[in-house]
């Protein structure tokens, strides 16, 4: 079973995370993505031991068998991966730099098309990085 974790950046250093799975919605807060994932694992384990026992979709599932995916908001993405330059991602995506900076700060919301362009640019960058070898 794969559970996509929706991650959103909150105030200061707080993160919000949630998973929606068959018959349940679980959410938590934490100071990092790792803490959110750990908290959600605890919540899912509790669900499996109680409500999940009677839900067909959860039969035979163990918390260690779950593949945890991450879905970040644009602002959360740029917070989590702050080593990436917003302007560079905007250029790769063919978007206005100022607009992408506004998406990154949460000042404006991106359309689905704009989000897809940003995601495609990030994935292309990741593929390019996988092709690089560094030598001394």
For the stretch 40-62, pLDDT in tens is 999 999 999 998 888 888 888 88
User: Residue 65 — pLDDT band, cuts 50, 70, 90?
Assistant: confident
Determine the Cα–Cα distance for residues 34 and 30; give it in Å rounded to an integer.
Answer: 8
The rounded percent of the chain whose pLDDT value lies above 70 is: 100
Q: What number of CA atoms fall less than 13 Å from residue 133's CA on the CB side?
A: 1
The CATH code that applies to domain 2-72 is: 3.30.160.620
Please state, rounded to an integer, the average pLDDT across all residues of the chain. 91
Higher pLDDT, 12 or 52: 52
Q: Is 91 exposed, middle or buried (0-12, 13-18, 19+ CB in 10 A)?
A: middle
Q: Provide the residue ranges of all domains of the chain, joining segments of one domain with +.
A: 2-72, 74-130
Rounded to two decimals, the pTM is 0.74
């Amino acid at each position: 079973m794969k559970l996509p974790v929706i991650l959103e950046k909150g105030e200061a250093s707080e993160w919000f995370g949630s998973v929606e799975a068959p018959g349940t919605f679980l959410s938590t807060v934490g100071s990092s993505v790792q803490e959110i994932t750990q908290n959600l694992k605890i919540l899912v384990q509790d669900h499996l031991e109680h409500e999940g026992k009677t839900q067909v979709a959860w039969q035979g599932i163990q918390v260690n068998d779950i593949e945890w995916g991450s879905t970040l908001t644009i602002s959360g993405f740029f917070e989590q991966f702050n080593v990436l330059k917003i302007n560079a991602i905007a250029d790769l995506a063919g978007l206005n730099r100022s607009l992408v900076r506004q998406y990154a700060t949460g000042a404006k919301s991106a359309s689905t098309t704009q989000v897809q362009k940003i995601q495609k640019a990030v994935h292309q960058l990741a593929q390019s990085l996988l092709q690089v070898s560094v030598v001394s």
